[in-house]
Structure 1
Amino acid sequence: MTCIFCQIAAGELPSALVYRDTHCMAFMDVHPLGQGHLLLIPLAHVEKLEQLPTVIRQHLYQVFDTLLAAQRRAGFGVEGTHLIVNDGKATNQHIPHAHLHLVPRQRGDGLGFGLRMFMHFTGLFGRRTPLQTLRRQALVIAAELDPQALENLAHRTSRLHATST
C-alpha cells in the first residue's frame, strides 16, 4: 500500500509544493495549524527518521533550516516556529512516512492554536484548506528560497550519499 505522502511525491495527488530535490520535498499541510504550515518529507518511504541514512537525515535538517528562513522572510513565523516531529505510532503519527512540521507561530495565537493542535494530533483534522489558498502561500515562501544554495546542498548530499553506500 502506498502512503499519501508517497502519492504526493509521485505526483498522483495534488499538493502546494514549496521545494523539491532528489532527497526530499516540502509542501503546505492541507490541515494547517496556521498560515504557512509546511511539511518536509524524505522522498524515500520510511516510517521513522532514524531509518534514513545519516547523510539524508542531515540533509533534511539543512533544508529545514533553509525553509525556516524563507518562511520568516515571507512573513510567516516571524515571532516563532514550532518544529514538530511525530516519529512513530506512539506519538500519534497518522501517516506512516517520516515528516517534519514547520508551524509558524505568533504572539496571542495560543488558545486557537492549542485547539487546532489537539485536533490535528488526535486525527480530528477538521476542514481542509483550499488548495488554491495553499498554493498562494507556497509561492510566497518559495520566492524567498535561494535556489542555487539548495541545488548545491542537494548535489553535495548526493555525492556524500553515493560514497557512504
Structure 2
Amino acid sequence: MTQNATPAAQGCIFCAIVARQAEASVVYEDGTVVAFMDLNPVTRGHLLVVPRVHAVGLEDLDGATSARVWSAGHDMARALRRSTLRCEGINVLLCDGEAAFQTVFHFHLHVVPRYAGDGWTPMHDAPERERSLLDRDAQAIKDAIAAAH
C-alpha cells in the first residue's frame, strides 16, 4: 500500500522510497511503515523506520502511526540483535527538527546497532541541573499536557 505524493511530499526522498520510485535496501514493510538501510550509516546495520504517510515530525504524526513506527523500531532492534551482524547494543534515535539534527524532513526513527569501539559517541558530559530548575521545567511540560486535553 503506497500513497501518492502530496504537494508537501514532492521531492521527499523517503516518500520516493516508500513508493518504490527510489532505490533502497528494504528489510521490512507493512501497510503503515517501511524499514530500510540508512545510506549513510553510523555503524554497520543502521536502519531507518519511516511511516508510509508523509509527516515532517512528531507534531505531524497521528498516534496510531507513531505507535506503529516505534513498535517496528523495536522489532528491528530485536532482529539486529539476533542477526549475524552480532551487535552488542542498540541506540534508537529520533531527530525531530533542524535544531535536533533532522536532515530529511520526513519523520524517521534511527535504529543503530552498536559495537564495542565503533567510535560513535552521541553522549556528552552535561552538568547536573538544579532541582528547582528541573521542577520549573517539569511544570511547564505539565501545563502543556493539561492544555492539550
TM-score by length of 1: 0.64
Is there any run of 5+ residues in structure 2 with no aligned partner, and where? 1-9, 123-149
Greater CA radius of gyration, 1 or 2?
2
Q: What is the one-letter code of the residue matched to 1:65? A: H
- Structure 1 residue 60 displacement after superposition: 1.1
Deviation >2 Å, runs of 4+: 75-78
Aligned residues: 113
Matches within 5 A, 1:1-150: 1-76=10-85, 78-110=87-119, 113-114=120-121
Deviations 1:110-163 (A, max 9, x none): 2xx34xx7xxxxxxxxxxxxxxxxxxxxxxxxxxxxxxxxxxxxxxxxxxxxxx
- Greater percentage in helix: 1
Does the 8 A contact of 1:77 with 1:105 survive in 2? Answer: no
Aligned-pair identity in percent equals 37
CA distance in 2, matches of 1:42, 1:30: 17
Is there any run of 5+ residues in structure 1 with no aligned partner, and where? 118-165
* 3-state secondary structure, aligned to 2:106: coil
Greater relative contact order (Cα 8 A, min sep 6): structure 1 or 2?
1
CA distance in 1, matches of 2:27, 2:37: 7
The two structures, once aligned, show a CA RMSD in angstroms of 1.5
TM-score by length of 2: 0.71
Q: What is the one-letter code of the residue matched to 1:105? A: R
- Structure 1 residue 52 displacement after superposition: 1.4
